[in-house]
Structure 1
Amino acid sequence: MIDRRSLLFAGGASAALAALGIPLNALAAAGLQLGEPRPFSFERLVARAKSLAGRPYVADNSLPADVLQQIDYDAHGKIKFNTDNALFREGPGAFPVTFFHLGRYFQTPVHMHVLEMASGDGFAREIVYDASYFSMPADSPARKLPDGAGFAGFRLQESRLGDQKKLPWETNDWVAFLGASYFRAIGELYQYGLSARGIALDAAMPDRPEEFPSFTRFYFEPPSSDSSAMTVYALLEGPSITGAYKFVMQRGRAVLMDIDARLFLRRDVGRFGLVPLTSMYWYSETVKPTGIDWRPEVHDSDGLAMWNGAGERIWRPLNNPTQTRASSFADKSPHGFGLLQRDRVFDHYQDGVGYEKRPSLWVEPIGDWGEGAVQLIEIPTDDEIHDNILACWVPKAPATAGSSYSLKYRLHWAADEPFPSPLARCVATRLGRGGQPGQPRPQGVRKFMVEFIGKPLEAIPFGVKPELVLTASRGKFSYIFSEAVPDGMAGHWRAQFDFAAEGNDPVDMRLFLKLGDQPLTETWLYQYQPF
């Protein structure tokens, strides 16, 4: 049963809400039950996170584990939030909020709150979970959960306003927070793909397991009536960390998120991954084992792009390695980095799930991040159901217990980089057998074809070829040259070379094209696994 202190958004609740100066339509749609008001501000949330970091972590095990286990994939799929109960269904603002139900794969209860804010201070009221918010079968095990159990996550639905409405808001969303500290957004091509996370702790560390802290509380700030943005606050909790987050999310052609994160470490962390991006890469045109699948390519992202503090533009194609690998790209005051989906041609995928429409995700630092490294973790996979790619920023200084961090950044969920380089960019990396047609193919030699396209390559005089600047951590190159790709497309060139490795360990390669002293392309980095 709902605690008598809770206020039902109807009838007798009206006077109490009005006494607080809280507009009724700013709080909830009819049917949502709200708890008592409690003081709230972002600084209060930061103080709470800091206070929690000084105490041992206590997991929330208040819900019956056997019931959550019964809500398996099939049972969870039959539970649908009733949009008649959507928060902000009647405003203010354009975007109603709906909620995910708990289940076997989302067992951590997440508590949702709605705010009434005034000059940064205000009140928070918990949205008290009730099974009646959801449509579910009469025999659903979810009905065994107690009132007030909490939720698994939330969605921001598309605009409900006529002048902004492109899709029915009841069945279309543009942001989703679900599971641990994971969240994602659609890009301008109206497709979900890769995810972001609040934090990544000890990913791919050989001597300790990865930790997955959770957003345990969210606070929704009612937007102004004409706003295209939504402001949401979150509390992060885990055995090694606590944190307070402020998300200001805008729905335009792309989705933009301005994020203010304040973090407090309970204990030492080996790999402290800030601003983590998580994606899936199975295979592409680069390396595809024979007969692995009927589709030419399967990936949510095909490369890591970096714009480092020295101004260099870098493209690192992704790999599906034979064993987990971590690559580190040292930097100081980076301009940004991101996991991108550059290949936008349907015929390269031949699948109806929209791989060619998956968003690219770019991280734009706000302020100076100092020294550290963009780190890339690549994990072997033999299926598309696994997110096996992680990119994050790791500060140079060790992450020790008692440390605190304040970080601001902007996430761009779009079709392409928000700050494109004036240089030609890499659009394909292809590997094959080394040697020349009609001659015996030498063992252990691979042929590389690296394609670039862009305006600097369009301006090359007829009969002139750009020079390859090519290095490797070890091994030997041969048959090195560049040529225009014979497809009639201006500015489309490829660099070709054969490479013989020495030993079986991975080889780091580096390449760009230049004319005289002038670079023409971004820098291609590649980690080649001899085979």
Structure 2
Amino acid sequence: MLSSLVKAQDDRPTYSFNRQWFEEQAKQLASEPYVEQKLPVDSPLNNLSYDDYRKIQFQRSATVWKNEDRNFRLSPMHPGFLFKQPVKLNLIVGGVSRRILYTSEIFNYDKEQKAAKETQAGGYSGFKLTTPINKPDIWDEFLVFQGGSYFRGLGKDNWYGLSARGLAINTAKPSGEEFPSFTEFWIERPKEKATTIVIHALLESPSLTGAFTFKATPGENTVIEVSSTLYPRKQIEAFGIGSLTSMFLFNDVNRTRFDDFRPAVHDSDGLFMINGQNERIWRPLTNPRKLQVSVFQDTALKGFGLFQRHRQFTDFEDMEANYEARPSAWVEPIGTWGPGHVELVEIPTNSEIHDNIVAFWQPSEPLKANRAYSFEYKISWGSLFKAEDKGGRILSTATGKSLGSENIRDFVIDYDSMNLPENIEIHATASTGKIVGTIQKFMHQTGLYRVVIKFEPGREDLSELRVSLSSKNQTWGETWLYRWNR
């Protein structure tokens, strides 16, 4: 069956491939009108329901490199359902690119899916990569590209959760968001025993084109080095580099709004950043009642990410979703990105099936037409990163009415106690309202260090809260930021 997927055919496009050629192709496309590629309107693949689509199964015998002594295997994914844009896949061997032509012969269909089986498409919907990331004799997924410019990665023992995107354009803007798509991929055949696989992807949208190269190294933390060159057709004011998309429904702070037996439901619970002054910042996520956009200015950002810090089954009590195993994602610039801001978008939702959290880096200068812009960075996927594991990680935030007072709210912040110093000082501020008291204590029951902030909002409806800790004029732990809404 493998031969049916990669066998030589007279009409299979074959040509030399290198990065320079690739960038020239992307630049040339940017000088031409954008042409959207979609399945034909009358294609039966457009009408596949979620259940119909799930019944279509890839035949493992058709897995690329299955019978070769390599650390990676590739499986194309079927088009249809939500994935209505055919994506071209190519394999690069010895600098020569050869197309993987679309065929339904490598999929198994339900007996009622004759029309889907007999329908031809201009490409697949994407692909997934496997490697023995968890056990030496089991090939598990660690990276998938499917839908728009979305891709998802896994570290060891993770389950799929949040996603990354090649580029975000006009996110949460009144004009409406534009969703660029990866329309063609070139995957380099890895050398035997290689621990890194290289993927090239063409990005297209009405506003620009882009040439992306991903170097993926799976492991305890799976690391993807991204090199991108963008070619705008017009000036773009609002765009996001290293864009991450996740889901936050509820936790202790807002669970009373949801009639649910579970104590929490989320893929990520906080935005973590290290700014140009090496300040480690934690901003708990929320599911607001109204669209909420937060901006964190910087001139020399060290990194940002959406993290999942609740890692126990009892944090979620969900036997199927495995939220405690969802990966965190950490974005680090390679070189400098200059001035700009991290933007956090929180969208109201009443269902865990909707991704409602977006975070990205927005440079201060717009992308101008007929110019080339390069951005390089790393995205790491896993459960814990060295960047955050330095003591004083904020593990949870809770809030409620202060005992004995109708007008004061308590905010309870729990820190890990690694490298806990003596004589900690609390520095707490509020943009409106006032801080009327603080409490701090090492919790012998949990081994955590707890700080309680007493906040009196007065007549205000919104306040930006900030808490940092120090000992002997030395900062300890992460800085806590929180946007309170009445």
TM-score (norm 1): 0.86
* Structure 2 match to 1:256: 223
* Structure 1 match to 2:32: 55
The range that moved more, 425-434 or 57-66, is 57-66
* Structure 1 match to 2:284: 317
* Structure 1 match to 2:436: 478
**Are residues 1:427 and 2:391 paired?**
no
**Are residues 1:446 and 2:409 paired?**
yes
The answer as to whether partners of 2:38 and 2:84 remain within 8 angstroms in 1 is no
Percent of aligned positions that are identical? 35
Shift of 1:349: 0.5
Shift of 1:395: 0.2
The answer as to whether partners of 1:447 and 1:497 remain within 8 angstroms in 2 is yes
2: CA distance, partners of 1:133 / 1:31: 16
Relative to structure 1, the CA distance from residue 123 to residue 30 in structure 2 (aligned partners, 3 Å threshold; closer, same or farther) is closer
1:277-328 deviation per Cα after TM superposition (whole angstroms, max 9, x unaligned): 1111111123322553110011111101101111111011111111111111
Alignment match of 1:134 (pick from 84, 101, 107): 107
Aligned length: 483
The answer as to whether partners of 1:9 and 1:32 remain within 8 angstroms in 2 is no
1:119-175 deviation per Cα after TM superposition (whole angstroms, max 9, x unaligned): xxx2211111011111112431312422x5210010002249xxx953533xx3111
* Structure 1 match to 2:425: 467
Shift of 1:66: 4.0
Map of 1:492-503 to 2, 5 A cutoff?
Answer: 492-503=448-459
Shift of 1:526: 0.7
- 1:127 alignment partner AA: I
- 2:24 alignment partner AA: A
1: CA distance, partners of 2:284 / 2:144: 27
- 1:90 alignment partner AA: N
Relative to structure 1, the CA distance from residue 456 to residue 90 in structure 2 (aligned partners, 3 Å threshold; closer, same or farther) is same
1: CA distance, partners of 2:59 / 2:387: 40
2: CA distance, partners of 1:167 / 1:350: 30
Shift of 1:92: 5.1
- 1:481 alignment partner AA: I
1: CA distance, partners of 2:225 / 2:234: 28
2: CA distance, partners of 1:357 / 1:54: 44
Alignment match of 1:396 (pick from 364, 367, 370): 364
- 1:475 alignment partner AA: G
1: CA distance, partners of 2:397 / 2:364: 31
- 2:116 alignment partner AA: A
- 1:512 alignment partner AA: S
The answer as to whether partners of 1:305 and 1:340 remain within 8 angstroms in 2 is yes
* Structure 2 match to 1:185: 153
- 2:231 alignment partner AA: F
2: CA distance, partners of 1:31 / 1:167: 31
* Structure 1 match to 2:138: 168
Q: Secondary structure at the match of 2:100?
A: strand
* Structure 2 match to 1:509: 465
Relative to structure 1, the CA distance from residue 528 to residue 139 in structure 2 (aligned partners, 3 Å threshold; closer, same or farther) is same
- 1:45 alignment partner AA: F
- 2:410 alignment partner AA: K
What is the root-mean-square deviation in Å for CA atoms of aligned residues? 2.1
2: CA distance, partners of 1:418 / 1:488: 23
Unaligned runs of 5+ in 2: none
**Are residues 1:158 and 2:131 paired?**
yes
Map of 1:24-173 to 2, 5 A cutoff?
Answer: 35-61=12-38, 63-91=40-68, 93-117=70-94, 122-140=95-113, 141-146=115-120, 149-159=122-132, 166=136, 168-169=138-139, 172-173=140-141
Unaligned runs of 5+ in 1: 1-7, 11-27
Shift of 1:31: 9.6
- 1:190 alignment partner AA: N
The answer as to whether partners of 1:372 and 1:394 remain within 8 angstroms in 2 is yes
Q: Secondary structure at the match of 1:402?
A: coil
2: CA distance, partners of 1:354 / 1:33: 47
Which of the pair has more CA radius of gyration?
A: 1
**Are residues 1:406 and 2:374 paired?**
yes
Shift of 1:30: 6.5
Q: Secondary structure at the match of 2:288?
A: coil
- 1:123 alignment partner AA: V
1:424-461 deviation per Cα after TM superposition (whole angstroms, max 9, x unaligned): 12111110012x3xx4x324x3211111123332x42x
TM-score (norm 2): 0.94
- 1:365 alignment partner AA: P
- 1:145 alignment partner AA: T
1:480-517 deviation per Cα after TM superposition (whole angstroms, max 9, x unaligned): 2222224162xx22111221224454311110122231
Alignment match of 1:194 (pick from 144, 162, 173): 162
2: CA distance, partners of 1:404 / 1:86: 37
